[in-house]
Amino acid sequence: MGIGKVAVRRGVNAIFLICLVTIINFFLFRVMPGDPVAMMASPSITAEVRKILLHKFGLDRPLHVQFIKYIQQLSQGNMGLSFVYQRPVVELIAERLPNTILLLLSSYIITVILSIVLGLVAAWKRGGKMDISLLIFSLWMHSMPIFWLGGLLLLFFSVQLDMFPVIGISTPWLVHENIFSYISDVAYHLFLPMMTLGIGNIGGMFLITRNSLLDVFSEDYVTTARSIGLSDRTILFRNVLRNAMLPLVTVIMMRLGFIIGGAVTTETVFSWPGVGLLIYRAVMQEDYPLLQGAFLIITVSAVLANYIAEIIYGYLDPRVRYE
Amino acid sequence: MILQSVKLKGYKKSISNFWNQYSESRMGLLGVAILLFFVLVSVFAEVLAPYPIGAREGDRGAILKPPSGKYVLGTDELGRDLLSILIHGGRVSLTIGFLATLVTAMIGTFVGVTAGYFGGKTEEILMRFTDVLLVIPGLPLMIVLASIMGATFWNIILVIGIRGWTGTARVLRAQVLSLKEKPFVESAKAIGASDARIIGRHILPNVLPLIVAQMVLRIGSSILSASSLSFLGLGDPTHLSWGMTLHYAFGVGSLFSNFYWYLVPPGVCIALVVLAFSFVGYAFDQIVNPRIRRR
């Protein structure tokens, strides 16, 4: 079976998941206790206005009609209107999605690089002083609430030392002479939230890299390589890293969906204008169409990331293809 | 009667065996010590807290004051003693963490055992559902559920429980699959024991240690989830947990006014408790997981 077939088969599964998630997303927001109108309008409205509102949002029709309508609108890229912003939900999310992707990817690169380097250092001398200290360090990182870590970094570096900007993604009202000054401004704003997420996510990742490297270190071919006197460097690059790549890449891709949660709180701490901050605002202001739209986008993104992970895995591991 | 006492002895012996192995791990012992400390403080919160926190109003003359002799950890925006709030907050956070994990254990056990024991279509549907839940990012799902259901004490527990059971279900299913083939289950079947009896009498007692291990591994992340939800405003304001305290600390602008005494202690406590659970879980794993032991 070729890689194309794997892509198709996993693709069907991904589409199935997306459909399921869409359906769940619809019904979740319909089964909520109470009256949907009560949540979108002030409780003091008259019965007359209530009726008009119910009709306007199609909430007076039977559930299956509402569902068909929802799917129709969704297929046209319509997720409804945000109560608070009075703008299409799709627009609001589209504006902020790139910011979230920037934050997630840059922080994730930091997590991955640090975990692999530290994982190697730890696995090289298993049970040594270095291994134990790194283990405790990573468990500590894993134990801290990420938003709290972000808050402390912000308090110390931005407020006390005044080294970094306090909020946002760029300096407001600053007119940039050229694109480079804009990029450096954004990078300057990005640094702390990126480090927060990057370091905050090390805990789990480090343990996984360390363990999968340990697995390889205990393989017979590494012992053989050692016994025939190959240098540490050769063993490391030729035997260990190459064989550890496969599980690592999978885990790295699989966890991409997992780190989204940390992004919501980190964006909130740093007022980073991404989808996470949008979710926070939607929750605070009970803006349900916005919350529903943002949740759908996030789950679909997670399914897609997962799908890409499966394709890469299939590409790297021939066993998947010939199953 | 005789059978039961033999069984009890067996349990006792395996527990003391387990403890002998466990106590060799310094990390594990440290974890237990930290947890013991926090549990004791929570249990005796009323006695230990220097001030009662029931009152809505604190010391009007000491609002947001840094640590002093009178208020060891300073005061909050209502002039309340933060040390007392911290001591009581531990009780709430630990309770939420424990109960939410209990919910995950119950759902996970039900799904895992049902899927593993009955197999076939039941298994396929249940495990497919588990996979779907695994793909959906955890915190966003909990945020949506909590804001739909309303962020009350019990709803928060339920929401965390609803999200967290997938791992337990998978582990238990695998274990039940292998238990099903064991002679004592097959002989019970042969003499006509009902499914309920087999599960209750033979399967559940055998997977109990595994359920406990899973709970130890989960409870830290339950506490972290609860604190993230609280931080985002999805906590029960009538139950002042560590996460809720942090929510208020951020809310009054601790970051910009440098109210470090408000911001630092609750986070340290959360991290210490979660770390302690990780230590215990790690030590547990060293004993239970044969793959690690081998190396």
A135-151 average pLDDT score: 90
Nearest-CA distance from A236 to chain B in Å?
Answer: 19
pLDDT given at position A231: 79
Residue B294 has pLDDT above 50, yes or no: no
Q: A140: which chain B residues are within 8 Å (Cβ-Cβ)?
A: 271, 275
pLDDT given at position A36: 58
Q: Select from A143, A147, A159 the Cβ nearest to the Cβ of B231.
A: A147
B239-249 average pLDDT score: 90
Which of B107, B5, B241, B138 shows the shortest CA–CA distance to A260? Answer: B138
Residue A60 has pLDDT above 90, yes or no: no
Please spell the DSSP secondary structure of A253-322, one letter per residue.
HHTTTTTHHHHHHHHHHHT--SHHHHHHHHHHTT-HHHHHHHHHHHHHHHHHHHHHHHHHHHHH-HHHHT
Cα–Cα distance, A302 to A254 (Å, whole number): 9
Residue where the block lists tokens 């506490």: B223
CB contact under 8 A, B258 and A155: yes
CB contact under 8 A, A154 and B149: no
Q: Are A213 and A193 in contact (CB under 8 A)?
A: no
CB contact under 8 A, A145 and B233: no
Which of A268, A311, B48 shows the shortest CA–CA distance to A321? Answer: A311
pLDDT given at position A167: 75
Nearest CA in chain A to B128: A17
pLDDT digit string (tens) for A207-237? 888 888 888 877 788 788 878 887 777 877 7
CB contact under 8 A, A29 and B148: yes
Nearest CA in chain B to A160: B258
Residues 213-252 of A with CB under 8 A from B: 214, 218
Q: A218: which chain B residues are within 8 Å (Cβ-Cβ)?
A: 295
pLDDT category of residue A11 using cuts at 50, 70 and 90: confident
Q: Are A46 and A62 in contact (CB under 8 A)?
A: no
B228 touches A: beta carbon within 8 Å = yes
Q: Torsions phi, psi of B24, nearest 5?
A: -75, -20
Q: Which of A228-242, A257-271, B267-281 has the lowest mean pLDDT?
A: A228-242
A155 touches B: beta carbon within 8 Å = yes
pLDDT digit string (tens) for A19-32? 888 888 888 887 66
Which of A269, A278, A258, A222 shows the shortest CA–CA distance to A84? Answer: A278
Average pLDDT, chain A: 82
The pTM of this model reads 0.87
B204-231 average pLDDT score: 89
pLDDT given at position A322: 52
Q: Are A156 and A69 in contact (CB under 8 A)?
A: no
pLDDT given at position B33: 94
A283 touches B: beta carbon within 8 Å = yes
pLDDT given at position A77: 82
Percent of chain B at pLDDT > 70 equals: 91
CB contact under 8 A, B139 and A298: no
Q: A284: which chain B residues are within 8 Å (Cβ-Cβ)?
A: 233
B96 alpha carbon, distance to own chain's centre: 8
Computed on alpha carbons and rounded to an integer, the radius of gyration of chain B in Å comes to: 23
pLDDT digit string (tens) for A264-323? 999 999 888 999 999 999 888 888 889 989 999 999 988 888 888 778 777 776 665 554
Cα–Cα distance, A52 to A69 (Å, whole number): 18
pLDDT digit string (tens) for B55-90? 556 666 777 778 777 777 777 777 788 888 899 889
CB contact under 8 A, B267 and A152: yes
pLDDT given at position A149: 93
Q: Which of A27-36, A212-221, B112-121, B244-253 has the lowest mean pLDDT?
A: A27-36
Q: Are B281 and B220 in contact (CB under 8 A)?
A: yes
User: ipTM higher than 0.90?
Assistant: no
- Residues whose CB is less than 8 angstroms from the CB of residue B164 and which lie 6 or more positions away in sequence, other chains included: B100, B101, B103, B104, B108, B138, B218, B221, B222, B225
Counted residue by residue, chain A has a size of 323
Residue B8 has pLDDT above 50, yes or no: yes
Residue B102 has pLDDT above 80, yes or no: yes
Q: How many CB atoms lie within 10 A of CB B2?
A: 6
> Which residue did the predictor score with more confidence, A251 or A129?
A129
Cα–Cα distance, A18 to A302 (Å, whole number): 10
- Residues whose CB is less than 8 angstroms from the CB of residue A212 and which lie 6 or more positions away in sequence, other chains included: A244, A247, A248, A251
pLDDT category of residue A256 using cuts at 50, 70 and 90: confident
Q: Are B226 and B243 in contact (CB under 8 A)?
A: yes
A4 touches B: beta carbon within 8 Å = no
pLDDT given at position B16: 80
CB contact under 8 A, A147 and B279: no
pLDDT category of residue A201 using cuts at 50, 70 and 90: confident
Q: A33: which chain B residues are within 8 Å (Cβ-Cβ)?
A: 149-150
CB burial string A107-140: b at 16+ within 10 A, e below: bbebbbebbbebbbebbbeeeeeebeebbeebbb
CB contact under 8 A, B149 and A159: no
CB contact under 8 A, B275 and A143: yes
Nearest CA in chain B to A141: B271
pLDDT given at position A207: 84
Cα–Cα distance, B207 to B172 (Å, whole number): 7
A57-61 average pLDDT score: 70
Which of A50, A8, A29 shows the shortest CA–CA distance to A290? Answer: A29
The β-bridge partners of B81 are B75
Nearest-CA distance from B117 to chain A in Å?
Answer: 26
Please spell the DSSP secondary structure of A287-305, one letter per residue.
-HHHHHHHHHHHHHHHHHH
Q: Are B273 and A139 in contact (CB under 8 A)?
A: no
Nearest-CA distance from B83 to chain A in Å?
Answer: 18
